[in-house]
Amino acid sequence: MIEKALKGSKKYWLWVLFLLSIIFIGFLCYLYQFKVGLGITGMSRDVSWGFYIANFTFLVGVAAGAVMIVLPYYWHNYKEYGKITVLGEFLAVAAVTMCLLFVVVDLGKIMRVFNVLRFPTPNSVMFYDVIVLNGYLLLNLICGWTVLHSEYKGTKYPSWLKPIIYLAIVWAPSIHIVTAFLYQGLPGRHFWLTAVMAPRFLASAFSAGPALVLVAALLLKKVANFDPGKKAIDSLAKTVAYAFIINVLLFIFELFTAFYSGIHSHQAPIKYLFVGLEGHAEWVPFMWIATILAIVGILLLVIPSTRKNETTLVLACIAVFISCWIDKGIGLITGGYTPTPFETITPYRPTLPEIGITLGVWAVGFLIMTILYKIVLEVKSSKELVVKYEGVLYKK
């Protein structure tokens, strides 16, 4: 089946080449970081996690979000998702791979990464995160690949897969709950110390993940003649809308708690992010962009006519995706570290090599997604050909 990825149009190869060149640049940046140390990034003693962990956190959500397609299809037998379910599963594969890469490039001593397995430490949330992320990667790879392979062979997937599919479904929220626990159990980081963190993570995951699948599916429809089905798109759009509104609501609840209670330390990070604090306003424009995108996204998603229109729907999904990325990526991390434990402010800005490495990891993810999606498309279209040759009567 893998050979399907090796044959393609000129456009396909150009896209692959483009991704490969970004990966190459990212790799060069990484070699530089490897040699000199993490000091080449904008991180500091006070803001000791940055862009890498921000992207990691966001992408865990994207990965978990795929379950919003897989679950209705297998659990509720929602047939409309038949065509895009495997897209969801393979999106999860690409996203988790990026997550793992982001953790790895963030380590000071990469050669020692297996210390996490050599000295298993059950009191560390990181220990569980490693388990659930790798497990999720494996589960999705198995499910996606086996189902697709059966389709390729023209059979139904083997029955042993059913329990694994169910396991993958219940597994999905765990990756994001555990990732939220990385943050929400730390004393003294006021922005993170909230029970709403895990639900908020899930809500943003269940909007950003399906939003990306939606954009990808509609893109494939344009460039590769792939038809996801009108009903599937409409249902998915509703999922994005509901989940994203819940996400925004949860954030507003945070605002209420911080500002009605009047507790200064709970307000400080929010003020820093949205209006600036003590003359520091590094991320204010970004947070307002996220806010505006969120409003635009919600409007386009709740108004039926714009939701049903493919162009405005894609715009809405992109708005939701970027809004989540800013809010849960960079906003979450810088907000957690600002103010510092000394109630001072140390600004953080990613450096060029840091951004290079980040883009490189994203390109790896997109490359994986491209290859897997290419295989999916080839398999599905080859099936259509068989139908066309066997019977004279065929749909469409």
Interacting residue with other proteins among 64, 125, 203, 240 (CB under 8 A): 125
What is the amino acid identity at position 225? Answer: N
How far apart are CB 106 and other proteins at their closest, in Å?
7
Q: Does 285 bind other proteins (CB under 8 A)?
A: no
Does residue 225 interact with other proteins by CB under 8 A?
Answer: no
Asked if 36 touches other proteins (CB under 8 A), the answer is: yes
Q: Concatenate the DSSP letters of all residues of 163-184 into one string.
A: HHHHHHHHHHHHHHHHHHHHHH
Closer residue to other proteins, CB minimum distance, 9 or 265: 265
Q: Which of 154, 163, 187, 285: binder of other proteins (CB under 8 A)?
A: 187
Spatial separation of the C-alpha atoms in residues 199 and 195, rounded to whole Å: 8
If the CB atoms of residues 82 and 185 are measured against other proteins, the closer one turns out to be: 185
- How buried is residue 69: exposed, middle or buried, by Cβ count under 10 Å (0-12/13-18/19+)? buried
* Residue 319 near residue 297 (C-beta atoms within 8 A): yes
Query: Is residue 267 close enough to count as binding other proteins by CB under 8 A?
Result: no
| DSSP string across 12-31 | HHHHHHHHHHHHHHHHHHHH
CA distance 42 to 230: 45
Which lies closer to other proteins via its Cβ, residue 119 or residue 389? 119
Count other C-beta atoms under 10 Å from residue 318's C-beta.
17
DSSP string for residues in 231-259: HHHHHHHHHHHHHHHHHHHHHHHHHHHHH
Is 73 or 348 the residue whose CB approaches other proteins more closely? Answer: 348
Per-residue x/- marks for other proteins, 312-341, CB under 8 A? ------------------------xx--xx
The single residue among 80, 89, 106, 354 that binds other proteins, judged by CB under 8 A, is 106
With CB under 8 A as the contact rule, the residue among 5, 16, 25, 126 that binds other proteins is 126
Q: How many residues bind other proteins (CB under 8 A)?
A: 44
Q: Name the minimum Å distance from CB 204 to other proteins.
A: 20
Contact status: 361 vs other proteins (CB under 8 A): no
Q: Are 114 and 107 in contact (CB under 8 A)?
A: no
What number of other Cβ atoms are within 10 A of residue 101's Cβ?
22
Using rule CB under 8 A, residue 191 touches other proteins: no
Nearest partner of 247 among 180, 307, 165, 154, judged by Cα: 180
Q: Are 297 and 323 in contact (CB under 8 A)?
A: yes
Nearer to other proteins by Cβ, of 115 and 134: the residue is 115
Binding region for other proteins (CB under 8 A) out of 45-53, 58-66, 323-331, 381-389: 45-53
State the residue for tokens 């940046």. Answer: 29
Binding residues for other proteins, rule: CB under 8 A, are: 36-39, 43-46, 48-49, 103, 106-110, 112-113, 115-116, 118-119, 121, 123-127, 130, 182-183, 186-189, 265, 336-337, 340-344, 346
